[in-house]
């Protein structure tokens, strides 16, 4: 999510932020499928669980009007114990703490509530899925395609308007309204993604965002256990992941730990006041992560960063509350086990409570060691970015990150800075990679050119197609797992003022579109697509670009050169970032050219017969497979 000077100002007056639950709001509170035999209005989170999880403890949050005056009993079930029940401030909740022995069998737990609220219900314990093809994780061999589901393609017009949602219409001429894209629309275009060379799909959050305005982006969650019905159902999401895997595509789920939407059912009817951070009056985060690890910093700045709200409609979740922390941990275990997804991208990662981040990361990794985890840390220096991934740095204020990787904003900034002006500065890109020594393993980072919060790459570089190819060449040959924002491959453009301008519909994804880039891409759009596709598919077929070592040479005279190499292969990437043709002395790279006498530029097929003396045209990047 965006690092914002201004965040959805138009949404500021949508609701009284600190009001108590109203009858109207309560009626609109979303819910998952009712529990078997339960009275109407009863909800339990998680909605079901599994036997055989590594952590035998299970926390159930039960909601029903007036429930707190009831006493809970669990009918005898071998291997399952109701350890305790806990009342909260609200009269409408109980917390049940269960212990599930590893030897317990799948089945239905029988829970009875007697007192001010009396009813019985069944709670399902399922068998875990043992399919080895589930939860594959990500490697450097992958190429992630990031998209906004609402803006990519509409595959099921029947879910465009969903009864009882707060936004129950589509308006494609409004950048703040829903446009109708959905899971089926993405699935209908798996072939397009594979032709491009993508191996993984990252949609912005798919869980329910039932907010009154501008919630199409997905970052204001209102139900942690439900796919937004305008995208599809929970079961359709399970099938979506299965279909992606069957088609050779992985799925990354975009998640938010730090905040929810102000129409979240647990905010409308709070279990307790301390489930959310609150100040005497509305207080934003200061959006300054430096406060977290500043050895000279103030506690006030630290508190504002961590506890301030991200926006007027995004209450800050209090993860230092153990019940809240467990609720979040269980929720994200639940989605992995339910679907078999392959990775989590964590939104606004630094804004969460640092101790919780360590707890959450440990719990997720212990249960799913293959699951890919990478976070958004939109920071201004290499060291500050590296602080939020596994690194060589000492703990600060008791925090030592256990997150495997990050979105590599430093690479993104460096590429843009190099290309957005004439004879742009290449040193930042060199320095961003030089700082890899800070990480435990920088190859787990995700480099990118732009995203849903940033001006589109093609506009940033002045719509210069040669510079576009240079940026793509760097993206697809540097270390890490590259990510491409939807439409970049067909030269979609605009500046993020406001954000909606960089979140436009993909041409051809919606009925009535004048252009259909899924079917045909004439002119520059087709040339751009073909360049990305050729290089991405070459990368897929040549492991040296995904698992090979990286050696870079200090930029010289506007030319930047690096090599990807292993014991048997070597690829040279050389980019002339100036307006003039450059003669490059190849003997400078002798340590990497030993044994190689010529090369082939992999996109154009042109032969380079003499590696000792290279003449590189203006604003040109070559990706050269070296030959012996």
Residue 309 region by backbone torsions, left for phi larger than 0, else alpha for psi between -120 and 50, else beta: beta
Kindly report, residue by residue over 470-509, the tens digit of the pLDDT: 999 999 999 999 999 999 999 999 999 999 999 999 999 9
Distance CA 292, CA 294 (A): 6
Long-range pairs for 287-295: beta carbons < 8 A, 24 or more residues apart:
287/3, 287/4, 289/350, 289/351, 289/377, 289/379, 289/384, 290/384, 292/350, 292/354, 292/396, 292/397, 292/399, 293/384, 293/387, 293/396, 293/397, 293/399, 295/396
CB under 8 Å to 198, separation ≥6 — which residues? 143, 144, 145, 249, 484, 536
- Between CA 169 and CA 160 the distance in angstroms is 7
Q: What sign does the CA torsion over 60, 63, 68, 73 have?
A: negative
Question: Helix or strand or coil: residue 297?
Answer: coil
Q: What is the pLDDT of residue 618?
A: 96
Measured CA to CA, the distance from residue 479 to residue 85 in angstroms comes to 50
What structural domains does the chain harbor? Answer: 31-126 (2.60.40.10), 144-541 (3.20.20.80), 549-627 (2.60.40.1180)
Cβ–Cβ < 8 Å for 251, 215: no
Helix H segments across 203-353?
Answer: 234-246, 265-268, 290-293, 299-307, 322-339
Clarify whether 347 is annotated catalytic. yes
**Angle CA 546–188–161, to nearest 5:** 125
Query: Which residue among 347, 379, 382, 505 is the active-site one?
Result: 347
Helices 409-419 and 465-477: crossing angle in degrees, nearest 10, is 150
Positive or negative, the Cα torsion across 624, 463, 450, 487? negative
**E strand or H helix at 192:** helix 190-196
- Set 150, 236, 376, 450: catalytic member: 376
Residue numbers of the chain with a pLDDT score lower than 70 = 1-39
Closest listed residue to residue 389, CA positions, set 357, 415, 414 = 357
pLDDT of residue 31: 46
For residue 116, what pLDDT is reported?
A: 83
Following CA atoms 387, 393, 397, 398 in sequence, which dihedral angle do they give, to the nearest 10 degrees? 100
For residue 283, the Cα-to-chain-centroid distance in whole angstroms is 26
- Give the number of other Cβ atoms within 10 Å of residue 578's Cβ: 18
**pLDDT score of 17:** 36
Comparing CA positions, the residue from 133, 150, 136, 147 lying closest to residue 201 is 147
Cα separation, 579 vs 440, in Å, equals 38
Count other Cβ atoms within 10 Å, centred on residue 16: 9
Q: Find out whether 491 and 483 touch, Cβ atoms under 8 Å.
A: no
Instruction: Pull the structure tokens for residue 342.
Output: 């392959």
pLDDT of amino acid 133: 84
Specify whether 376 is catalytic.
yes
DSSP secondary structure of 53-100: -SS-EEEEEEE-TTGGGEEEEE---TTEEEEEEEE-SSTTEEEEEEEE
Task: Please give the biggest Cα pair distance in the chain.
Answer: 87
CB 63 within 8 Å of CB 54: no
């Amino acid at each position: 999510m965006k690092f914002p000077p201004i965040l959805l100002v138009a949404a500021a007056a949508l609701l009284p932020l600190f009001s108590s639950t109203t009858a109207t709001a309560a009626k609109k509170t979303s819910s998952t499928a009712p529990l078997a035999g339960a009275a109407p209005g009863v909800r339990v989170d998680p909605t079901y669980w599994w036997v055989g999880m590594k952590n035998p403890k299970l926390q159930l949050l039960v909601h029903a009007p007036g429930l707190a005056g009831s006493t809970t009993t669990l009918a005898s079930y071998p291997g399952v114990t109701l350890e305790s029940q806990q009342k909260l401030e609200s009269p409408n909740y109980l917390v049940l703490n269960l212990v599930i022995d590893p030897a317990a069998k799948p089945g239905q737990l029988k829970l009875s509530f007697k007192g001010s609220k009396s009813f019985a219900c069944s709670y399902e314990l399922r068998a875990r899925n043992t399919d080895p093809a589930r939860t594959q994780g990500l490697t450097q061999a992958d190429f992630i395609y990031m998209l906004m589901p609402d803006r990519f393609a509409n595959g099921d017009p029947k879910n465009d308007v969903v009864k009882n949602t707060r936004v129950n219409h589509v308006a494609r001429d409004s950048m703040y309204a829903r446009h109708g894209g959905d899971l089926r629309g993405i699935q209908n275009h798996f072939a397009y993604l594979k032709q491009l060379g993508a191996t993984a799909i990252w949609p912005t959050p798919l869980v329910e965002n039932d907010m009154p305005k501008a919630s199409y982006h997905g970052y204001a969650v209102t139900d942690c256990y439900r796919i937004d019905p305008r995208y599809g159902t929970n079961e359709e999401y399970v099938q979506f992941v299965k279909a992606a895997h069957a088609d050779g595509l992985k799925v990354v789920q975009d998640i938010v730990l730090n905040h929810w939407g102000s129409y979240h059912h647990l905010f409308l009817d709070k279990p307790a006041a301390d489930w959310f951070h609150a100040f005497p009056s509305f207080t934003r985060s200061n959006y300054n992560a430096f406060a977290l690890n500043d050895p000279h910093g103030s506690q006030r700045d630290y508190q504002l960063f961590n506890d301030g709200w991200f926006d007027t409609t995004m209450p800050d979740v209090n993860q230092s509350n153990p019940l809240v922390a467990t609720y979040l941990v269980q929720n994200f275990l639940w989605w992995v086990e339910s679907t078999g997804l392959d990775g989590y991208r964590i939104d606004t990662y630094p804004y969460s409570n640092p101790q919780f981040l360590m707890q959450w990361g440990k719990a997720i990794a212990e249960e799913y060691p293959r699951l890919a985890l990478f976070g958004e840390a939109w920071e201004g220096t290499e060291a500050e970015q590296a602080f939020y991934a596994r690194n060589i740095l000492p703990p600060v204020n008791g925090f030592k990150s256990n997150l495997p990787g990050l979105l590599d904003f430093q690479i993104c900034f460096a590429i843009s800075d190099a290309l957005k002006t004439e004879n742009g500065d290449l040193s930042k890109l060199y320095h961003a990679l030089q700082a890899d020594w800070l990480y435990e393993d920088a190859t787990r980072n995700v480099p990118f050119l732009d995203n849903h919060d940033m001006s589109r790459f093609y506009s940033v570089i002045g719509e210069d197609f040669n510079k576009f190819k240079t940026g793509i060449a760097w993206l697809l040959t540097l270390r890490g797992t590259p990510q491409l924002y939807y439409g970049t491959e067909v030269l979609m453009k605009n500046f993020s003022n406001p954000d909606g301008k960089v979140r436009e519909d993909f041409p051809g994804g919606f009925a009535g579109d004048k252009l259909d880039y899924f079917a045909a891409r004439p002119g520059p759009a087709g040339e751009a697509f073909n360049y990305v596709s050729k290089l991405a598919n070459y990368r897929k077929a040549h492991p040296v670009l995904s698992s090979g070592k990286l050696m870079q040479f200090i930029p010289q005279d506007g030319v930047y050169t690096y090599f990807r190499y292993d014991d048997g292969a070597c690829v040279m990437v050389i980019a002339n970032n100036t307006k003039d043709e450059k003669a490059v002395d190849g003997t400078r790279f002798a340590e990497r050219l030993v044994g190689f006498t010529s090369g082939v530029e992999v996109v154009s097929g042109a032969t380079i017969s003499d590696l000792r003396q290279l003449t590189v045209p203006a604003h040109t990047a070559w990706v050269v497979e070296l030959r012996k």
